Structure formats: structure tokens, C-alpha cells
Structure 1
């Protein structure tokens, strides 16, 4: 399957807070319209630059016939594009590619968790009405779409670490104990699910005088994407996306989504355009979400945390420790009570998904126990006197 590429190169500018970002955007050339594809590719490149710079973007899409016919991009006040330069542009294999260089200045610091990757579970997307997949044999469309979504998010994301799941999980239907079990098993707080609400065929388009083929018909691609927080039991993001395209394949012909032939069709291109828009919105929604780590072990003045280099953690990063208790409400449901402590620890050793951290004043962490939490305190600035920590015990 073709994935939309996005190269990012950062170069320091003259001002301490201004940086040049070089990004590449791509768009499919539809019906030979290179001008429209060029505009979409340029917009894609600018959005990628803003995402990499940590500037918040919220896009609103109204999708018709596989094209974003109306889109407004709002950039929050803590970032500003000083200048945009066109580096290269080209059309190749039905795709228009534009590389731009943008000078982006941040007037205020970004959210403290921006540089950390939050682990995000992606469940297989579901077909709401599987019988709609009979024509073309699109029964694997949900599963393949979720894998493509995960690949695209991995490519552009600065703030999430997607992990595809083989089995569907509906976070909203889980009990407190089940949500805890999922968090402990996968080390993830967020779960993304999606439903393909409509992949049906519409009315016949035009007249086909060729007796050996069927008349072209419109086909819909309606999808609802939901991002759920397992810890706070809340919906972080929920959005419906709709498009349609001409389905010119004979009724008896299979067009398996697992193969390139499907994604090169007009319908496949329209579906991929929708997935691109959803990926951008999910990345925007999760970028400033909190990062919480479980305390796995406590040894005197050290704790083992359930986050590591894969999450973007570095030696010297600081975390505040949080007590976690369970209370039972009047309805017999378990509820979580979090109490922030004044204790701050600094990371001393890293592995892929864990980190040893030590109290900054070497005091004992007697009141901290396995199961408590740690949240980002501040991005550590490495100083000479911070570079020496006693080795964490293994």
C-alpha cells in the first residue's frame, strides 16, 4: 500500500525560539488535476511542519466525492509561521509531491508532554454492516484500514506510539478492573477504535453501453473514529468522516483491500484521503494529553517506571510521584483517587520501555509503593552537577 511520506528536517534559525522545518507533503492527482493536487500537497507539508514544531492545529473537514472541498486550519496563538519557502515539487506515479521550508516561531512554550510518546492501542476497525462488503469482497477493509492508519500515524507522529491489536476492544464497555488489566498488559493509557458505518453502493452513475461490464456506481466510505482514555474513562476525541467515489468494478470481481489494486482505485484513493485526515486529527488530539507511568518497583530512593526510551524519555528527565488509591462509591463501583506528592525523581537509567529514577535529594521513598504513578514534572536541563548519579541497583 502507498503511504503518504513526510520528511522532516529541523534547522536552527537566528532567534533562540525560531526554527526552520523542512517537510514533504503528498497528494493524489485525481482526474489529471495537478493544480488541485499541488495545493493539497502544499497544505499537507505545512501541516506537517506545524505538527513537528509543536504548534496546535485543528482542521475541520467537509468531505465530498473523495476531496476535502472545505477546510479551515486554525493555528493557536503560541506559534507563528514567519516564512514559507518552496524547495521542490514534482508529479510522479499519480502523486504530486511538494517540499517546503517553514520558519516557525513559538511565542510561548508548548505543553510539557509534547516530546513524549503516549502509547496508543489501535483495535481492528469494524464493518458495521458486513453484508455491504459482499460486492467487491471488502470483508478485510476494516482490518486493513486500521493497519494503514497505524502505519500513517507512526510516520507523522511526534506524540504517540501506536500499537496495533489483533482483537477488538471497546474501551467504553470495560469495567474498572478490565481497564486496569488492559493498561497493565499493554502499558498503554489510550485506545483507538473505529467503525466503518457505510461502505454501500449508491445509484448508477451514467450509462454503460458495454454489455460485458456493469454500469459505474457511487460507493460510500463513512467512518467514525474514537480515542478513549482508559485511566480517566473519558472520550478524548470522536469524529465522523464521510466520502464517496465511483466504483467501476464489476459486481462479480473481487478487489481485496490487502492488495495495491484496491488502493489505486478511485474508491481506495478516496478512503485513504479520509484516513490521512483522521490521522492528523488524532495526532493533534493526543499531543498534549498527560503522560502517566506506573511505579513497578521501589528500592529505597529509587523507583522503576513503566516508561522508557521508546516513549521519548531521556536520562535527567524529572517526574512527580502520585499516590493511587481505590475507593468504592455508593453504587459499589471502584473509583480511582490520585494524590500528588511533593516527591520528584530524576531518570538515571533507561531501557526500551522502563526507566530507573532517583529522588533528587536522595531521600527515601518510604510512602511510595508499586502501583503508584509518576507524571511529567519538567523537561530536565542537563547540568554538570546533575551528570553523576549513583548507579541504580539492578
Structure 2
């Protein structure tokens, strides 16, 4: 009897569940034995150098063991990478102890771990209100509305991308003390708050955040000559925010990133500018903030694109399932979804964890209503023990 055991491990700086594309300059040396024509050894050394350069940006390692009668007969490991190498410069070539060596410098573009997702369904995301860590800093310019104005702007930007259906939950905040978020919240509190919000709105993920700093830095007084030469005396204002994404099913944090910028605040000191108003965007500071918000929205959109589409089963009767997914998700009659049973697993600290079990069953979409979807199983739900709060997933 033969058994296969498959394993997969992603190697690299994987602080987050996805790796965003970025470029870096690397210097590596490729080697190959000189066993025949020198040109062939040079070609092999160059291939080795390019392969090493691509591995600098992360790799995927997969292994397979083939067992016969309890004994490992085959054990293989494969290393692959999706990185792209460009602008290659040869720094040195030489033959050392029977090995041809080539040292190169190159730009390596690190590709995302999910460059082309198979499914294109829009994931429902609840965008909660952002906390303001130092409310007194919002007094100048009357930026107090940033707690709701910023996430609303972020939700609109996410919706414009087409891959996310962002829902307005800006009147709800996940953190009681924004100054200490998210470390001040226990795992159980995050679980309770984010899951409750996601369940209430029918969302798969919850986006939240904290505005850390809006400090104003008044420049030193400039002399007449400096003003004559056009040096600006407008104060500089900081903008620092943290963005978080929680899974709506388990409450786990999937994404956490800090964004920081600054710009000149030219608005009059007594003006009630407000956040995201035409007067706000007219300032240099507003332009800088707009750029950083677009970058944050892009990062969140990219992270969510790497995640599967998931929706709750709200009713299971006979062969028919009612699924909590709106028409905006993009599901169409004939689409197929895998069915998973939800359960609770407790770790050593007796903290609950959500567990999904593959039921080896598929549901075919039959009807798409404005607020829910109807799908059919090949067997009755009672036979498969499929019930309310179980999940359907499209990978």
C-alpha cells in the first residue's frame, strides 16, 4: 500500500498573510563545475546566479514523501519562486578550483503569493470607525470628524477598486482606548467585537484603525530676506495612522500596518476646515494624506484579494441552502461553492478558535437575490449534518 504525504511551507519575511510586490537590489554569486566547454559552464553559473537572486525575495518550498509498507521510498523537495529579475549587471567572472563563478547585481521584483486569484467574487467588508489617539490635536482645523470621515473615504476607495464590497460601520469603534489599540484589547475582546460586527452586517472581514498623530509643528520665524526669497512659513502637520483587518468568522487579526506622512498646513488657524472637505484637500497636507490613504486602501485590497470568498449558511433545509451573500458579491447561477462545517477548538489556554471542516460537498448556485443566495446540494443537508452558521467557500 502506498501513501502520499504532502507538505508546503512559505519561506520569507511573511509577517502578514500576503507578500506585497516590491523591488530590491541584490548581489549574488552563481557557480557551476567546469566539466566541458567553458561557455556551457558559464551559462550554468549564470542560471545559478539568477536563481539565487530570485530566491532573495522569498520562495515556496514543497515536499513529497512516498511510503511503501511504512518505509519512505521517495523523498523530494522542490524550491520555486515567482520573483522577476531585471537590470542584471555582471560584476565578476572567474574560474576557481574547477568551478566557474559569476557575480551579478540585479533588481528583484517580489511577486505576490496570489498574483492571479481564480475567483473574482467581491468580499463583504465592514469598515468600522477609526479611533483618535490624541483628540486635542484635531482641534486646529476642526478635524474631529476624522473618526468617521477617514473610514468613509477609505470605504469609498475600496469600493472603487471593484474587488471589495465595503459596508459603512463607521459609527462603531472596536477599541475603547485608541491610544493602546490593539495591544490593550484581549484576544477574546477582539473576537467578540469583530465577530459581532461582521455577523450583524453580514461581512466577511472588518477593517478598523487608529489615527495616532495629527501634531502641528510651527516653523521658526523667518526674516524679511527669507520671505522675500519665497521660503514658506506655513506650519508642518504630521499624519500617522494604523490600519487593522480582522477576520469576521474567527476574530483573528489578518493585517496590521502603520502609515505616516507630513505636509504643510496652509489653512488659516481660525478656519473650521474639517476632514475630507474641499478646503482640507486644497492644502499640501491634504494632498499628502490623500496619497497615503490611497496606498492604505491598495494594501488592504491586495491582502483581501489573497483571501478566499466565504459566506454563512443562514438556512439549510433539504437540498436547498440559503447563503448570506448579496447580489453585489458577483455570484451567478451555476457557480459552485464548497461546504464547510464550523466548529470550536480550544487551545491550551482554553481560548476558543474557529475550526472549519471540509464536508466534501458542493453547493451549486441556483438563484441570486438582492440580499441572499439560494444554492442546492447533491444530497439533503440533514444527511450531511449541514446547518445554520456553517460556511460556503470559493478558493
Taking the aligned partners of 1:178 and 1:255, their CA distance within structure 2 comes to 33
Alpha-carbon distance change, 205 to 240 in structure 1, aligned in 2, over 3 angstroms:
farther
Number of aligned residues: 279
**Equivalent residues of 2:154, 2:293 under 8 A apart:** yes
Please state if 1:125 is matched with 2:130: yes
Q: What is the CA distance between 1:294 and its match in structure 2?
A: 1.1
Q: Which range moves more in the overlay, 321-330 or 160-169?
A: 321-330
Structure 1 pair 181–124 and aligned structure 2 pair: CA distance change class (3 A)? closer
CA drift at 1:78: 7.0
Quick check: 1:321 aligned with 2:336? no
Deviation at 1:331, TM superposition (A): 4.5
Is 1:350 aligned to 2:354, yes or no? Answer: no
Question: Residue 111 in 1 paired to residue 117 in 2?
Answer: yes
Given that 1:208 and 1:215 are in contact with CA atoms closer than 8 Å, whether structure 2 keeps it comes out as no
Structure 1 unaligned blocks of 5 or more: 1-55, 61-73, 81-107, 378-394
Query: 3-state DSSP class of the match of 2:21?
Result: strand
Q: Which residue of 1 aligns with 2:390?
A: 372
The Cα shift of 1:208 comes to 7.0
Q: CA deviation at 1:135?
A: 1.9
2:304 to 286, 289, 296: 286
Q: Does the alignment pair 1:58 with 2:64?
A: no
Deviation larger for 314-323 or 140-149: 140-149
Cα deviation for residue 79 of structure 1 reads 11
User: Shift of residue 142 of structure 1?
Assistant: 3.2
* Counterpart selection for 1:277 from 281, 284, 295: 295
TM-score by length of structure 2 reads 0.63
Q: Residues 194 and 246 of structure 2 are in contact (CA less than 8 Å); yes or no, is this contact kept in structure 1? A: no
Match of 1:198 in 2: 213
Cα offsets for 1:278-328 (capped at 9, x unmatched): 111111111021222111111211111112321111111111111122345
**1:331, 1:163 → 2: CA distance?**
34
Does structure 2 conserve the Cα–Cα contact (< 8 Å) formed by 1:205 and 1:217? no
1:163 paired residue among 167, 175, 179: 167
Look up the match of 2:47. none
Contact 1:176 1:334 in 2 (8 A): no
Q: Which residue of the partner structure matches residue 88 of structure 2?
A: none
Distance 2:271 2:362 in 1: 62
Aligned-partner SS, 1:275: helix
Q: Measure the CA separation in 2 of the matches of 1:269 and 1:202.
A: 18
SS of structure 2 residue aligned to 1:123:
strand
**Partner of residue 30, structure 1:** none
Contact 2:199–2:248, Cα closer than 8 Å, also in 1: no
| Contact in 2 for aligned 1:205/1:218 (Cα 8 Å) | no
Decide whether the 8 Å contact of 1:58 with 1:281 is kept in 2.
Answer: no
Distance 1:336 1:306 in 2: 19
Two-structure CA RMSD over aligned residues (Å): 3.3
What's the CA shift string for 1:24-48, capped at 9, x where partnerless? Answer: xxxxxxxxxxxxxxxxxxxxxxxxx
Is the partner of 2:338 in helix, strand or coil?
strand
Query: Separation in 2 of the partners of 1:125 and 1:109?
Result: 30
Which residue number corresponds to residue 256 of structure 1? 274
Unaligned runs of 5+ residues in structure 2 are 1-18, 24-56, 60-80, 85-113, 176-181
SS in structure 2 opposite 1:243? strand
Deviation, 1:207, is 2.0
Partner residue, 1:243: 261
Distance in structure 1 (CA, Å) of the matches to 2:386 and 2:375: 13
Question: Could you tell me which residue of structure 2 aligns to residue 10 of structure 1?
Answer: none
Higher Rg: 2
2:155 is matched with which residue?
A: 150
Distance 1:276 1:335 in 2: 33
Tell me the distance in 2 between the aligned counterparts of 1:149 and 1:300.
41
Structure 1 residue aligned with 2:63 = none
Inter-CA distance 342–238: structure 2 relative to 1 (3 Å threshold): same
Distance 1:141 1:179 in 2: 21
- Describe the shift of the 1:335–1:109 C-alpha distance in structure 2 as closer, same or farther (beyond 3 A): closer
Residues 152, 276 of structure 1: 8 Å contact kept: yes
> Residue 194 and residue 181 in structure 1: after superposition, are their counterparts in 2 closer, same or farther (change >3 A)?
closer
- Counterpart of 1:181 (choices 196, 206, 212) is 196
Displacement of 1:365 after TM fit?
2.1
Match of 2:248 in 1: 230
